[in-house]
Structure 1
Amino acid sequence: MKDVYLFSGFLGSGKTSMLTNVLKQFKEKGLKPAVIMNELGKLPFDSQAVDEEIPLKEMLEGCICCSGAEKTEAQIQSLLADNEFDVLIIETTGAAHPVEALDAVYSPLFAESLNIKGIVTVADSKLWLDRSSLTPQVRSLFIEQIRHAHLLLANKMDLLTEAEQAKVVFEMQGVNPNAFILQTTNGKVPLKLLEGLQATAQASKDDIQAAKIGKHLHLSSRLVELKQSFSQEQFEEWVRSMPSSVYRIKGYVPIEGIRNPMLFQYAYGLVQWIPEYINMPPKIVMIGENIQEIDIIGEK
């Protein structure tokens, strides 16, 4: 089981400084990290921050959260097959919504091999105070990145007065009361804080092991094994009964009368069924808030 961290945050917030510092800490501890870097440009500037001996996959000209989702799955599968590593860090673009990024890296194909530790968002504290100057779309994404973080770095604190520092922490805590907020300079975060995260709720044979982050688990993932077949109508009816806090469901669903489990995807209230010609394991991944409380179809 490999630990996986998602690093989120706007361009210029300090993500690369954090990445460089965290990689150094992992290596000092004797752990071998691997990195997937996702950039919107053509030139991989940030990859210069990663040492040559660290396995690195780059995604250029694409966002991890849209057309790049399949590429991300392929990159992770390639890393799992070709490289010996202990921990995987995925640096998303500043334009990535946290839910989309989590969706892109959590595939039923390798969900059991990965332990999603959480989303670490680096927020530019000075930009937070000046957020009224941003366009509505950019401001909304900025707030969403903060709202869905499991660990929040209020970075560039050295540029603020004590009163401004207190204001930033108070306001960010109001947006995300679940995350631990660390005041940082140059994105320096102690490894212990990262290792204490746990955003994946794994389904065992007997029960659901609910993960804990602080007192409340908010944005999280859950892997579920389906132990019987359903009609498509039955399964869709169950999906429609979900609260709006369930953002994504994807995986392979056994359908009565059909030889192989079908690929099922759910997002934004829309469902998609795709025939599968290989007998894939009947498992689905669910992504949302308080996901471990959802009753699973076919289970009492």
Structure 2
Amino acid sequence: MTKTNLITGFLGSGKTTSILHLLANKPANEKWAVLVNEFGEVGIDGALLAGSGALLKEIPGGCMCCVNGLPMQVGLNTLLRQGKPDRLLIEPTGLGHPKQILDILTAPVYEPWIELQATFCVLDPRSLLDEKTLHNENFRDQLAAADIIVANKSDRASEESQQALEKWWQHHGASRELIFSEQGNIPAALLDKPRLNMTPLPSAAGHAHGHALKKGLAALNLPAHQRWQRSLNSGQGYQACGWIFDADTQFDTIGLLEWARLAPVDRVKGVMRIAEGLVRINRQGQDLHIETQNVAPPDSRIELITEAQADWNALQSALLKLRLS
């Protein structure tokens, strides 16, 4: 049986960073796999996790539990039967609801295959200061379903966000475990804790997406001889726009970072080719984190997500001007 953990968390909480840390500290004699889902279509997290040494299956384009869970079951079956991993980490989109995912993982058909262990929710405590996020049912139910709450980004916490976390914990913590983390640094030993939280969850309302269903089974790749492509998705009150560029396209480093910093959106995530190699871009609200390496990725991918309406054509025009000849 494959030990399995569900790792949830709202947009920008640090799920992918946490998984990268866990993979970097896995036992050398174990084979691990990751099933990852993104709201957008272009598959940024797959690019971030590609060099981790884990088996990887991507389900971009909304929610892995859409269409009665078919995309999730296809990815899950592929990893379990072909990869036979010792451990499986499942990362749903930050806009995903955990109920149907947990229903699938605990279904009788998977009993011989999966040993479901502790469910995690990665939380940026500053989210508790935002009324709109607090009233988002996916945010609430991700926290409600977790055995372990990871208060991430503690290095960026304020006195106000710390007080909000303490207040929330007094009302909702119950007997669950709370740990504090910086840069997604989660002790790997916690993965072996049992799943004890059986809180009944309501079904998600307004669970619809604007993407074509055929895109839900594989990450977007460029057609032959096409230099770049744009992809759109919408649902649950959010819109996403992503771009993928071929391996011969490089971007002006300073201009690209300014574009990402100033884009009037809630979320920016990308892995982009620059003259120096690659730059990883991760922005949530006003928090911008960048990381450069002198290894070039096979292509460039960047995704923007926002609640407000955005002028994708204007953002695209500005991005295209940053390409180096």
**Normalising by structure 2, what TM-score?**
0.57
- How far apart in 2 are the matches of 1:20 and 1:169? 28
Displacement of 1:84 in angstroms is 3.5
Cα 1:67/1:171, change in 2 over 3 Å: same
Q: Indicate the residue corresponding to 1:272 in structure 2.
A: none
In structure 1, runs of 5+ residues without a counterpart are 200-212, 220-244, 249-266, 269-300
8 Å contact from structure 1 (residues 10, 122) kept in 2: yes
Q: Indicate the residue corresponding to 2:60 in structure 1.
A: 60
Cα 1:45/1:71, change in 2 over 3 Å: same
- Residue identity in the other structure for 2:154: M
Alignment of 1:42 with 2:41, yes or no, is yes
8 Å contact from structure 2 (residues 39, 60) kept in 1: yes
Which of structures 1 and 2 has the larger relative contact order (alpha carbons within 8 angstroms, sep 6+)? 2
Query: What is the CA deviation profile of residues 143-194 of structure 1, one whole-angstrom value per residue up to 9, with x for unaligned ones?
Result: 2211211111111111224564254134134223132011111121101122
Q: How high is the sequence identity, in percent, across the aligned residues?
A: 27
SS in 1 for 2:178: strand
Q: Indicate the residue corresponding to 2:76 in structure 1.
A: 76
Q: Indicate the residue corresponding to 2:122 in structure 1.
A: 122
- Residue identity in the other structure for 1:43: V
8 Å contact from structure 1 (residues 64, 104) kept in 2: no
Displacement of 1:79 in angstroms is 1.5
- Residue identity in the other structure for 2:91: E
Q: Indicate the residue corresponding to 1:143 in structure 2.
A: 140
**Normalising by structure 1, what TM-score?**
0.61
8 Å contact from structure 1 (residues 72, 105) kept in 2: no
Displacement of 1:29 in angstroms is 4.4
The count of aligned residue pairs is 204
- How far apart in 1 are the matches of 2:22 and 2:120? 12
SS in 2 for 1:93: coil
Displacement of 1:133 in angstroms is 4.3
Query: What is the CA deviation profile of residues 193-247 of structure 1, one whole-angstrom value per residue up to 9, with x for unaligned ones?
Result: 2212x12xxxxxxxxxxxxx4xxx434xxxxxxxxxxxxxxxxxxxxxxxxx487
Q: Indicate the residue corresponding to 1:101 in structure 2.
A: 101
- How far apart in 1 are the matches of 2:202 and 2:159? 38
Cα 1:163/1:95, change in 2 over 3 Å: closer
Out of 181, 185, 204, which is 2:182 matched to? 185
Alignment of 1:157 with 2:154, yes or no, is yes
Computed over aligned residues only, the root mean square deviation of the Cα atoms, in angstroms, reads 2.5
Displacement of 1:131 in angstroms is 2.2
**Paired residues for 1:19-30 under 5 Å:** 19-26=19-26, 28-30=27-29
SS in 2 for 1:22: helix
8 Å contact from structure 1 (residues 120, 151) kept in 2: yes
- How far apart in 1 are the matches of 2:187 and 2:169? 20
8 Å contact from structure 1 (residues 62, 68) kept in 2: no
8 Å contact from structure 1 (residues 20, 50) kept in 2: yes
- How far apart in 1 are the matches of 2:30 and 2:170? 32
Q: Indicate the residue corresponding to 1:293 in structure 2.
A: none
Q: Indicate the residue corresponding to 1:176 in structure 2.
A: 173
- How far apart in 1 are the matches of 2:82 and 2:192? 25
Query: What is the CA deviation profile of residues 91-110 of structure 1, one whole-angstrom value per residue up to 9, with x for unaligned ones?
Result: 00112222222123333222
8 Å contact from structure 1 (residues 9, 123) kept in 2: yes
SS in 2 for 1:112: coil
SS in 2 for 1:165: helix
- Residue identity in the other structure for 1:177: A
Q: Indicate the residue corresponding to 2:18 in structure 1.
A: 18
8 Å contact from structure 2 (residues 2, 86) kept in 1: yes
- How far apart in 1 are the matches of 2:166 and 2:13? 16
